[in-house]
Structure 1
Amino acid sequence: MTESMSGGCQCKRVRYRVTIEDDAAYLCHCRMCQRATGGVSIAFKGVRKADVTWEREPDLYRSSVIAERGFCALCGTPLTFAFLDGDGMDLTVGSFDDPWRFKPVSHSGSESWHRDWLDTSPLPASRTDENPNVTNRWMENLGKLPD
Structure 2
Amino acid sequence: MSLDNKPIYTGGCQCGAVRFRVEGVLGDASICHCRMCQKASGNFYQPLVSIAGAKLTWTRAEPKFFQSSSFAKRGFCPECGTPLTFGDPHGIALAIAAFDHPEEIPPTVQWGIEAKLPYVDDIPSLPGGVTEDDPASVPFIASMVNHQHPDHDTATWPPEDIS
TM-score, normalised to structure 2, is 0.76
Q: Show structure 1 runs of 5+ residues with no match.
A: none
Q: 1:117, CA displacement in angstroms? A: 0.8
Partner of 2:159: none
* Letter of the structure 1 residue corresponding to residue 63 of structure 2: P
Question: Which of 8, 11, 35 matches 2:12?
Answer: 8
Q: 1:35, CA displacement in angstroms? A: 1.1
Partner of 2:25: 21
After TM superposition, the structure 1 stretch with the greater mean CA deviation from structure 2, 30-39 or 124-133, is 124-133
Q: 1:131, CA displacement in angstroms? A: 4.0
**CA spacing shift, 1:19–1:110, aligned 2, 3 Å:** same
* Letter of the structure 1 residue corresponding to residue 109 of structure 2: S
Question: Which of 63, 68, 85 matches 2:73?
Answer: 68
Q: Show structure 2 runs of 5+ residues with no match.
A: 151-163
* Letter of the structure 1 residue corresponding to residue 77 of structure 2: C
Q: 1:102, CA displacement in angstroms? A: 1.4
**SS at 1:64's partner residue?**
coil
Q: How many residues are matched?
A: 144
* Letter of the structure 2 residue corresponding to residue 137 of structure 1: F
**CA spacing shift, 1:15–1:22, aligned 2, 3 Å:** closer
1:14-69 Cα deviation digits (max 9, x unpaired): 00001242584110001100111121101001113761000121111111111210
Computing the radius of gyration over CA atoms, which structure comes out larger, 1 or 2? Answer: 2
- Asked if residue 127 in structure 1 is aligned to residue 157 in structure 2, the reply is no
RMSD over aligned Cα, in angstroms? 2.6
Whole-Å separation in 2 of the counterparts to 1:27 and 1:4: 22
Partner of 1:139: 142
Partner of 1:96: 99
